Amino acid sequence: MTRRQPSPPPKRPQSILGAHLGTLHMDISSNREVILEGNNGILEYNDRSIKINAGQYIVSFQGRGLHIRTMSERELVIHGFLTSIEYII
Amino acid sequence: MMIVRMLRWLFGYIRFTLEGTFPERFLNLASRRGIPLWGLTHEDNTLSAMARQHHRAALQSIAEKTNITVGGIEYHGLPYCLKRYRHRVGLLIGLVVFGLGCHYLSGIVWSIDIRTPSLLNEYEVREMLREHGLTEGTPAKQVDAAGIINQISVSDRRVSWMTVNIMDTHADINISPNLASVVQRPETLPLSNMKSIADGTVTKVEVYKGAANVRVGDGIRKNQLLVSGLVEYTNGQIVLTDCEARVFARTHRSVDLHLPKRYTLPRIQETVTKQTMTLFGLSLPLTIQGNPSGTYAQQTTRQQVTLLGHPLPIYVTEENWRHYENVPVELTLPQAQELLQQKLSLYEFFMLAGTQQGTVLNRQCTITEESDGFVLHADYELEEDVCQKTVIPLEETAEEPASPLPAV
């Protein structure tokens, strides 16, 4: 009896810039809003810290009153008072 | 962003809370399956989010897979509003009636703003427009602006040109007068002299046309020739002209005003107030009052109702009917003084209106009580224009038959 192989997950569409570079693309507006494209998932989420999996590294946002305003397959919008952005490699 | 919010409300959305050990996994799986989430907030170890309502089943399956409890589901948006009010037919009918009402009312003339010179008053213009089919409540599409302009311009000589602009529910009327219809110029200028209307002493002479016969300081009598229309130039030419001059003189006038002791004073006995509301030309009485009989003085005020500064086609007319009755009273001296002063004020008003730019230099008044009443005697010293134009009747003298020559 042969085991049925699971179908591979659908390929994620990426932004033009993200697909070209194969990396996470961030738009930072002052210290109030960050728009991320091409992330691999959320690792931690609370109002003081949000950690995003960017594939080969992790981006950590620290601040106050942080919340995800919109989250879709392609992009993520973080809003709040950012105090630091850290790259964990 | 506004359009996105509106679309979310139109299609309906749910708000839910996530409770569990690792809600981030739930978010990641939802993201992988292409389920957009928004409004994610993290408070008191509880994560709440919003999603489209048709993703609810998919979210439930993700929650089961990730061992997360989805709770506190709230339904928002138009589909849930309609579902909530589906048994209220009256509300739906009200909405339809409101929409139809808005559609109908936006197509009719609500207010008419008339800008007219003093030659034509607003009431006359409003009546003319009514005759030609433009009044509050007329459908704006039925207003024939060009036809109204043509008809009124032809029928009324006082109108030089006019504009009728219909702007949505507002009609703007602008009228320019035809001054040629008012100014009536005589075909031939009359020839005239200036004569005095009172005795006095000349204080100022201003002659524009004609030959002055008096100088400042001269004493003049009534009907004396002040300015002659017969002008003789130094070259010997004699010209007859229409005099234009002003001769000011210091004059005296006196007047006696009588007031009987038994006098009838008008007193208000009763006041009746009627209110009427006019909506698109339809009058609706607000008070149940008939027209009173007897001697009444009526005062009417008409006010247009406005909403946030915009005039509405609603007028409130208030009529005050005051019933006056003449009551005989025995006058005392202070009452008589007050009434005589009022009469004297009226006399001065009309006397000065009758004179030409007259000013009162001095006035002395005495009130005496007599057996039958009170008498106020007033002496005035005035400075006034005493000129009065008298036409020289040339044609009549020319038509007179020549007197026969006496026989020699």
Sequential pLDDT tens for chain B (408 residues): 789 999 999 999 999 999 888 888 999 999 989 999 999 988 877 889 999 988 989 999 999 999 888 888 899 999 888 888 888 889 889 999 999 999 988 888 888 888 877 677 888 888 888 888 888 888 888 888 888 888 888 888 888 888 999 888 888 998 887 776 655 555 566 788 999 988 999 999 999 988 899 999 999 999 999 998 888 888 777 888 888 898 999 998 888 988 888 888 777 777 888 888 988 778 888 888 777 777 788 888 988 888 888 778 888 999 888 888 888 888 888 888 888 888 888 888 887 766 556 788 888 988 888 888 889 999 989 888 888 888 887 665 444 444 444 443
* CA distance linking residue B15 with residue B38, whole number of Å: 10
> Do the chains contact at B27 and A42, CB–CB below 8 Å?
yes
- Number of helices (H) and strands (E) in chain B: give both, helices first: 9, 22
* Closest chain B residue to the Cα of A49, Cα to Cα: B42
> Mutate which of B31, B43, B59, B62 to test chain A, going by most A C-beta atoms within 10 A?
B31
Inter-residue contact A44 to A72 (CB < 8 Å): no
Give Cα B137 distance to the centre of its chain: 20
Among A45-49, A55-59, B218-222, B231-235, which stretch is predicted with the lowest mean pLDDT? B231-235
With beta carbons under 8 A apart, name residues in chain A contacting B38: 69-71
Chain B nearest CA to A1, separation (Å): 27
3-state SS assignment for residue B85: coil
HEC string for B370-395:
CCCEEEEEEEEEEEEECEEEEECCHH
> Do the chains contact at A70 and B38, CB–CB below 8 Å?
yes
Nearest to B42 among A67, A71, A73 (CB): A67
Q: Is B24 on the interface with A (CB under 8 A)?
A: yes
pLDDT value at residue A9: 54
3-state SS assignment for residue A77: strand
* CA distance linking residue A59 with residue A38, whole number of Å: 12
Chain A nearest CA to B282, separation (Å): 57
Chain A nearest CA to B5, separation (Å): 12
> Do the chains contact at B40 and A44, CB–CB below 8 Å?
no
Chain B nearest CA to A47, separation (Å): 6
Q: Is B22 on the interface with A (CB under 8 A)?
A: no
- B387-391 β-sheet, strand order: B211-212, B225-228, B192-196, B387-391
Inter-residue contact B214 to B221 (CB < 8 Å): no
3-state SS assignment for residue B271: strand
pLDDT value at residue A7: 59
Tell me what the mean pLDDT of segment A82-89 comes to: 92
Geometric angle at alpha carbon B44, from B40 and B49, rounded to 5°:
20
Contacts (Cβ under 8 Å, ≥6 apart) of B329: B262, B263, B264, B265, B335
Tell whether the model's pLDDT for residue A16 goes beyond 70: no
Identity of the amino acid at B302: R
Q: Is B43 on the interface with A (CB under 8 A)?
A: yes
> In this structure, what DSSP letter does residue B353 have?
H
Identity of the amino acid at B179: L
3-state SS assignment for residue B96: helix
Q: Is B27 on the interface with A (CB under 8 A)?
A: yes
Chain A nearest CA to B79, separation (Å): 23
* Closest chain B residue to the Cα of A46, Cα to Cα: B42
> Do the chains contact at A44 and B24, CB–CB below 8 Å?
yes
Inter-residue contact A55 to A12 (CB < 8 Å): no
* Closest chain B residue to the Cα of A74, Cα to Cα: B31
Nearest to A71 among B38, B41, B42 (CB): B38
Tell me what the mean pLDDT of segment A9-19 comes to: 51
Structure tokens at B353: 């209106």
Structure tokens at B100: 């139809």
Q: Which of B74, B58, B73 is nearest to B19 (CA)?
A: B73
With beta carbons under 8 A apart, name residues in chain A contacting B24: 41-45
Structure tokens at A80: 């709040």
> With the CA atoms of B50, B56, B58 and B61 taken in that order, what torsion angle do they form, in degrees rounded to the nearest 10?
100
Nearest to B24 among A9, A43, A73 (CB): A43
Tell whether the model's pLDDT for residue A29 goes beyond 50: yes
* CA distance linking residue B359 with residue B320, whole number of Å: 39
> Do the chains contact at A70 and B36, CB–CB below 8 Å?
yes
Tell whether the model's pLDDT for residue A25 goes beyond 50: yes
* CA distance linking residue B283 with residue B277, whole number of Å: 6
Structure tokens at B256: 């006696």
pLDDT value at residue B303: 87
For tokens 């004699």, name the residue.
B238
* CA distance linking residue B398 with residue B386, whole number of Å: 30
Distances (CA, A) of B274 to A65, B16, B181, B267: 65, 62, 40, 21
Inter-residue contact B306 to B344 (CB < 8 Å): no
Contacts (Cβ under 8 Å, ≥6 apart) of B193: B210, B225, B227, B228, B229, B243, B389, B390, B392
Tell me what the mean pLDDT of segment A65-70 comes to: 91
Chain B nearest CA to A78, separation (Å): 10
> Do the chains contact at B36 and A43, CB–CB below 8 Å?
no
B88-135, pLDDT tens digit by residue? 889 889 999 999 999 988 888 888 888 877 677 888 888 888 888 888
* CA distance linking residue B341 with residue B335, whole number of Å: 10
Q: Is B44 on the interface with A (CB under 8 A)?
A: no
Beta strand spans in B44-137 (E): 46-52, 69-76, 111-115
Where are chain A's structural domains? 17-88
With beta carbons under 8 A apart, name residues in chain A contacting B39: 69
CATH value of A17-88 in 2.60.40.2000, 1.10.150.120, 2.60.120.650, 2.40.160.40:
2.60.40.2000
Task: Kindly write down the DSSP assignment for every residue of B47-59, as one continuous string.
Answer: EEEEEEGGGHHHH
Is the pTM higher than 0.95?
no
With beta carbons under 8 A apart, name residues in chain B contacting A61: none
Q: How many CB pairs under 8 A join A and B?
A: 47
Domains in chain B, ordered, with CATH?
2-83 (3.30.70.340), 108-181 (3.10.20.310), 192-247 (no CATH), 257-262+330-383 (no CATH), 269-288+295-326 (no CATH)
pLDDT value at residue A78: 94
Contacts (Cβ under 8 Å, ≥6 apart) of B159: B120, B152, B153, B175, B176, B177, B178
* Closest chain B residue to the Cα of A71, Cα to Cα: B37
